[in-house]
Amino acid sequence: MKSTSKITIFVLFFVFTFGVTSAQFAKPEEAVKYRKSVMFLIVQHFKRMGAVVQGKATYDKDAFSVNADVVKMLATLPWDAMRVPGTDMGDTTQSSAVFDKPAQFNKAADSFETLTTMLAGTAKGGELNAIKAQFGKVAQNCKSCHANFRKK
């Protein structure tokens, strides 16, 4: 339970410290740094859940649910930083397709938020087969978005 509290405190600190300023980036580089930080956190928590889904880690309903809740919350954060002009240049993997196909990008972002919300709800139920199915949908969304909006 102590690690759950630490994760929650860290995430809340991150959101309140950086989330308030997320829409106000002075330079594209700041938006890229913000986006990369959010994505790093998403990946870390997603990997923890992935290890459980793949049978490489023991299933702990509470820990899985906490990770799913963290990803759900983080899933709302990176999009404004990705829409800042110039964030497809420099030290980034974001492609210009974000700007060339904004409707498609917005649909992918909305889908990610919806699917992570569904994963968090499914995780609370504790039924591992249902969790695996929903986790797979989120993972597929990630792959699709990367295929369309990430530099190759």
Tokens of 73: 């919350």
pLDDT tens figures, 128-152: 999 999 999 999 999 999 999 999 8
- What per-residue confidence (pLDDT) applies to 62? 97
- What per-residue confidence (pLDDT) applies to 24? 81
Average pLDDT for the chain: 91
- What per-residue confidence (pLDDT) applies to 61? 97
Q: What is the sign, positive or negative, of the torsion defined by CA atoms of 43, 15, 150, 123?
A: positive
The torsion angles phi and psi of 146, rounded to 5 degrees, stand at: -65, -40
For residue 23, pLDDT over 90 is answered with no
- What per-residue confidence (pLDDT) applies to 152? 86
Question: pLDDT band for position 7 (50/70/90)?
Answer: low
> Closest Cα to residue 31, out of 75, 99, 78?
78
DSSP state of 16: I
> Cβ(112)–Cβ(142) under 8 Å?
yes
How far is 7 from 1, CA to CA, in rounded Å? Answer: 10
How many folded domains does the chain comprise?
1
The torsion angles phi and psi of 46, rounded to 5 degrees, stand at: -65, -40
For residue 13, pLDDT over 60 is answered with no
pLDDT tens figures, 51-94: 999 999 999 999 999 999 999 999 999 999 999 999 999 999 99
> Closest Cα to residue 48, out of 73, 33, 69?
69
Question: pLDDT band for position 6 (50/70/90)?
Answer: low
For residue 116, pLDDT over 50 is answered with yes
48: domain CATH number is 1.20.120.10
Residue ranges making up the domain that contains 124: 2-149
- What per-residue confidence (pLDDT) applies to 1? 53
Listed in sequence order, the residues at least 6 apart from 63 whose beta carbon sits closer than 8 Å to its beta carbon are 3, 4, 48
